[in-house]
């Protein structure tokens, strides 16, 4: 089930990168290299998602003075695997009102897109499938599809809670997307490029951008929390109001995919934050660059998990207000300050 739905992700990655490989050397060798790379990245994502899932349960348990999973495997590390098997073993059911194909296909599509974006990310100077000149923009264009897919899925499920959740996802999109793009523009302005490899090289040459534009970092972090539906912005799937939001009628096998999407997006978010603000793979150099990249991303992911344990959910209209009254002005201030101090 799981690997079956990963295939579309790899497919997207391969199709996309074909273009850049067709005119460089032997096509077949490059194609093979891309496939191997894609498989490796998918394995990496799976491992990290799994560990995030476990870490989230353990950290939440610690924060709540519980033990969390302890029985299955050492420190309960196999608990999520057991849960996954249980979920996959359940029957797949779609409500009568649901548009069945769209309902299930959109979830697979979301997973494919989030994996596709991670495939496009460079993992070190040379470890990249396609060193895209406008890589940063491509990532955020692909990310902007997510709420729209959720919107489609919400209405396809024929459930009123899912429909409300779908409406919310579009309103949320309006509130955080613009500040996000403005911050990206200031990052590009500072580094002089939309290419992620060059952005990281520019940070290694000067300072990490978190030091150069702290306002931008804070704004970006908050907007990314909203982008990836992490608490306190889990407004779309607010479990105490909308039961599970757009996932209300999604049955177990697809629900396991949805969980997988959640963690993949969290991984993606922490990778992007690391690359744009924390110097990506630049580090003391004792260990390979990819280690530093992943270590920083994991640290960011842990911060996101701790935020989940301590924050109350924000209301939709409040998020809209914060997006327009706080995040947008801050992003603009950051852009102007960056221009005045560093660029001019």
Partner 1 sequence: MVTRINVGPIHPSTHGVLRLVVDVDGDTIQSVEPHVGFLHRGVEKLVENRMYMQSPTYMEKLDYIAPLAYDEAYVAAVEAAQGAEVKERAQYIRVILLELQRVASHLLWLGTLANDIGNFFTLFMWCFRDRDLVLRLLEDVSGSRMFYVNMRIGGLKSDIPAGFEEKTLEVVSYLEKRIPEYEKFLEKNPVFLERMKKVGVLKRDAAIELGVTGPVLRGSGIGWDTRKDKPYYVYDKLHFSPQIRDEGDCFARYKVRMLEIKESLRMVRYAVKLLPGGDAIGLPIKLIMPAAKNRISKVSRETPRGEALMYLVADPQRPYRLAIRAPAFINLFALSELCKGERFADMFAILGSLDVVMADVDR
Binding interface with partner 1 (CB under 8 A): 60, 63-66, 160-161, 163-164, 167-168, 231-232, 234-235, 238-241, 243, 308-318
Rank residues 6 and 238 by Cβ distance to partner 1 and give the closer one. 238
Measured in whole angstroms, the distance separating CA 225 from the mean position of its chain's CA atoms is 9
C-beta of residue 184 within 8 angstroms of C-beta of residue 251: no
Instruction: State in angstroms the smallest separation of the CB of 114 from partner 1.
Output: 23
Question: Could you give the CA distance from residue 6 to residue 169 in angstroms, rounded to a whole number?
Answer: 24
Instruction: State in angstroms the smallest separation of the CB of 168 from partner 1.
Output: 8
Rank residues 207 and 315 by Cβ distance to partner 1 and give the closer one. 315
Phi-psi region of 43 (alpha: psi -120 to 50; beta: other; left: phi over 0): alpha
Instruction: State in angstroms the smallest separation of the CB of 275 from partner 1.
Output: 29
Rank residues 159 and 195 by Cβ distance to partner 1 and give the closer one. 159
Instruction: State in angstroms the smallest separation of the CB of 62 from partner 1.
Output: 10
Rank residues 90 and 160 by Cβ distance to partner 1 and give the closer one. 160
Which 3 state secondary structure label does DSSP give 234?
A: coil
**Helices of type H across the chain:** 2-22, 27-63, 79-89, 100-120, 135-156, 160-191, 196-205, 209-212, 214-227, 252-277, 289-310, 316-321, 328-338
Rank residues 127 and 243 by Cβ distance to partner 1 and give the closer one. 243
Length of the chain equals 344
Q: Which residues, other chains included, contact 8 with Cβ-Cβ below 8 Å and sequence gap of 6+?
A: 108, 109, 111, 112
Q: Which of 110, 90, 89, 88 is nearest to 156 (CA)?
A: 110
Instruction: State in angstroms the smallest separation of the CB of 225 from partner 1.
Output: 12
> Structure tokens of 272?
């992007």
Instruction: State in angstroms the smallest separation of the CB of 18 from partner 1.
Output: 43
Rank residues 119 and 224 by Cβ distance to partner 1 and give the closer one. 224
Instruction: State in angstroms the smallest separation of the CB of 322 from partner 1.
Output: 10
Question: Could you give the CA distance from residue 315 to residue 66 in angstroms, rounded to a whole number?
Answer: 28
Rank residues 210 and 238 by Cβ distance to partner 1 and give the closer one. 238
Q: Which of 172, 120, 127 is nearest to 147 (CA)?
A: 172
Question: Could you give the CA distance from residue 132 to residue 135 in angstroms, rounded to a whole number?
Answer: 5
> Structure tokens of 21?
């490989």
């Amino acid at each position: 089930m799981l690997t079956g739905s990963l295939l579309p992700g790899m497919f997207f990655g391969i199709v996309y990168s074909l273009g850049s490989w067709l005119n460089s050397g032997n096509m077949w060798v490059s194609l093979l290299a891309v496939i191997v790379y894609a498989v490796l990245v998918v394995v990496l994502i799976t491992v990290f998602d799994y560990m995030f899932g476990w870490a989230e349960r353990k950290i939440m348990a610690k924060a709540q003075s519980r033990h969390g999973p302890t029985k299955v495997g050492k420190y309960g590390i196999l608990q999520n695997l057991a849960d996954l098997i249980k979920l996959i073993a359940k029957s797949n059911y779609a409500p009568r009102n649901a548009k069945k194909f769209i309902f299930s296909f959109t979830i697979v599509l979301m997973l494919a897109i989030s994996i596709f974006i991670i495939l496009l990310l460079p993992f070190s100077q040379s470890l990249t499938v396609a060193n895209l000149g406008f890589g940063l923009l491509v990532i955020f264009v692909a990310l902007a599809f997510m709420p729209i897919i959720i919107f489609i899925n919400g209405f396809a499920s024929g459930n009123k809670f899912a429909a409300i959740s779908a409406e919310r996802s579009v309103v949320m999109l309006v509130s955080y997307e613009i500040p996000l793009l403005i911050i990206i523009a200031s990052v590009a302005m500072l580094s002089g490029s939309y290419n992620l490899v060059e952005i990281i090289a520019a940070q290694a040459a000067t300072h990490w951008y978190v030091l150069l534009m702290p306002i931008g970092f804070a704004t970006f972090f908050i907007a990314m929390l909203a982008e990836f539906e992490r608490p306190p912005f889990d407004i779309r799937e607010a479990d105490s109001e909308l039961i599970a939001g757009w996932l209300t009628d999604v049955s177990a096998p697809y629900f396991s995919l949805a969980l997988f999407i959640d963690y993949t997006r969290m991984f993606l978010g922490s990778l992007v934050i690391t690359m744009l603000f924390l110097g990506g793979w630049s580090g003391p150099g004792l260990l390979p660059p990819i280690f530093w990249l992943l270590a920083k991303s994991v640290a960011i992911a842990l911060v996101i998990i701790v935020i989940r344990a301590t924050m109350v959910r924000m209301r939709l209209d409040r998020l809209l207000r914060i997006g327009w009254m706080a995040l947008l002005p801050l992003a603009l201030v950051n852009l102007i300050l960056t221009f005045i101090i560093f660029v001019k």
